[in-house]
Structure 1
Amino acid sequence: MILDLVANAGDISVPGLMAIPKELEKTTVLKARDGSLEAFEQILFHYEKVIFNYVYRLTSHRQEAEDLTQETFLKLYKNLSRIDPQKNLKSWIYRIATNTVYDWFRKKKNHQELFLIDDPENPFEIADDHDASQNMEKIENAEVVAKALEKVKPIYKTVLLLFYYQDFSYDEIADILSLPLNTVKTYLHRGRASLAEILKNPYI
């Protein structure tokens, strides 16, 4: 039964909402943990489309995104007992999705710099992002931005997607990626700079 439910995960035509209303989330999680397939189906309904879109932007491959989305929700189902109903369910699902995608990257061995470790001898000083943010807000062609994002390093792209497309806070992104808060801010700044450079020079 659970495989039938998850079989449609990743189907972009399936309607989905951004999140389960907060007042219902705890109850839904508790019911799902107790074995309610109806409760788990509610989680799928609310999150499968947005997770597919997120995974698709990370991988740029529709079929892989569909498979990885299914894998994400299978992992979620198998680990329901570990979910703390007091914590943010959305962040938990995005953490599973991100780790699933990065496992796929590693198996393909096509990305050697998934995570970058800052050199403690030369800490990155975050500059004022005001101008960069203004420039990004003026960009109206979503397709151009999507194409440019494909060229951004995976970890930078992940942070950009979580911050701008999924509306996660710095703290939430740090929790999802298991990274220090300052590292998240650094990656976001570097991602903005990288994206801006690619948009100025699309053939690099």
Structure 2
Amino acid sequence: MQPLTLDQRLGRVGQHIIRARLFLDLWSYFEEDVSRGKIIDTMREYNEFFRFTPHAYLVSYVIYMAGVFDKAKGTISLDALNREVKKAGNVKAQTATSVDALLLKARPIADKVVMLRHEAFAHKSAYISYDDVFKLVAICPRQLRELADLALDVANQLFSARGLQSQYFSELPREAAEAMMEALGKK
């Protein structure tokens, strides 16, 4: 089987970052105090649907974002793509320095997200509880959002180096969730 081209892999990582942020925005909408306070009665009315929905959004974010920072050989990750774009000679020195600095800034948060994936969601450690993993990782929603922002900045700089179109986050899924909850609340 032939590997995907560099540009195809760059496109794929960009889409994973966009999807991760989409899931984070939906999780935030259903879980943050201000918005949840406005919709909790509707969520309770449809409890069987909403019981695990926010959790599914968080898991989806973690899986996508952990993949973006995966260190395993043969995976589509920002670190590997950065090296490959540099090797192809597409990156100017200033961009290379900027991307390296962003990846360095992202790494501590990414390591926490990867730990959540490995210990709490994907592998379910036999030695630490779900709640204790979150306590150990000590990550907050602001850091999750920052990681997505850093990742997209890196991806867009790599896209630019290759002459590809930048990608952007969209507020539309959260706006649709807000409209859905408003409609459900009126019934």
How high is the TM-score relative to the length of structure 1? 0.24
If asked which structure has higher relative contact order (CA below 8 Å, sep 6+), I would say: 2
- Greater helix fraction, Structure 1 or Structure 2: 2
How high is the TM-score relative to the length of structure 2? 0.26
